[in-house]
Amino acid sequence: MKQDTDLVELLDTTADERLLDGGGANLPKDLGRPEPVPPSRAKGTIVGAGATMTGLTLVLGVGLLAAGAIAALASGIGGLAVVAFVLGLVLVSTHWGWVHVAEFTATGMERRRHGEIVDRRQQWLKTIKPYTRYEVSTHVADDGSICIARTRYTPVRSRPGKFRFERETESDEVHSGEESAAKVTERAELLRRLAAADTERERERFEAADEAYQTVLLGRDDERQQLEARRAASAALSEQINANLRDPPLTE
């Protein structure tokens, strides 16, 4: 199954640092939220300056490329045209570097001013494991009906060695405002128990695969050992799935 293959591929990943800022909407509630870093006016100024330099560098680079091309067409490929073209190419190729420099500088300032908070945020990231979570929540529609939504948070690779969550509403039951509160509450609680059971099953599958993976890997990083570790993780995952199939699941 593709889902199982994806889980094995996520075993060597850690939570993306971008979940610390701006990732709240796609974070399962059971994870909580990271401790906020006190706002810094200097950080905004530095990041803004980096964005400005990025734009200026790109515009200047494109301008030099155009100037080099025009000079080459007008007077042939001479030293001035080559210099303009090379400088323009360098500026265009590296213009995003200003953003990274600004982020690195701002992060360094934050760590110096709020080192303990930054460390706690990093520790919080390390506690997040890449397995699927399910949640059930309720909300009231404009017509007064009550909606019970089941949401799935699926871990996916965001960049090399990192993962984030994709949020998807699996179902959204609508209950008329005329239905009894007890009936709607009972239905919501049943769906919450089912979601909790599904989440627990995903956690057990992940832990079984991760334990097998780490046992084979033994800290080595060569390609063959990685392959053997993935095979062991897949075998453990398969065994976990078969064990769950032997136990009757909760039913609605």
Q: What is the pLDDT of residue 11?
A: 84
Q: What is the pLDDT of residue 218?
A: 56
Q: What is the pTM of this model?
A: 0.62
Quote the CA–CA distance of 250 and 197 in Å, as a whole number. 8
Structure tokens at 47: 């990041």
Quote the CA–CA distance of 148 and 133 in Å, as a whole number. 17
What are the residue boundaries of the structural domains of the chain, listed by start? 2-13+130-246, 41-110
- Four-residue CA torsion sign, 84, 86, 92, 98: negative
- HEC per residue, 128-170: CCCCCEEEEEEEECCCCCEEEEEEEEEEEEEECCEEEEEEEEE
Nearest residue to 209 (alpha-carbon basis) of 235, 184, 187, 190: 235
> pLDDT truncated to tens, each residue of the chain (252 aa)?
455 557 778 888 899 988 887 656 688 988 988 888 776 666 667 777 777 878 888 888 788 778 777 776 766 666 677 777 677 777 777 766 767 777 777 776 766 777 788 889 889 999 999 999 999 999 998 888 999 999 999 999 988 889 999 999 999 999 987 888 889 999 999 999 999 999 999 999 898 888 887 776 655 555 566 666 666 666 666 666 566 555 555 555
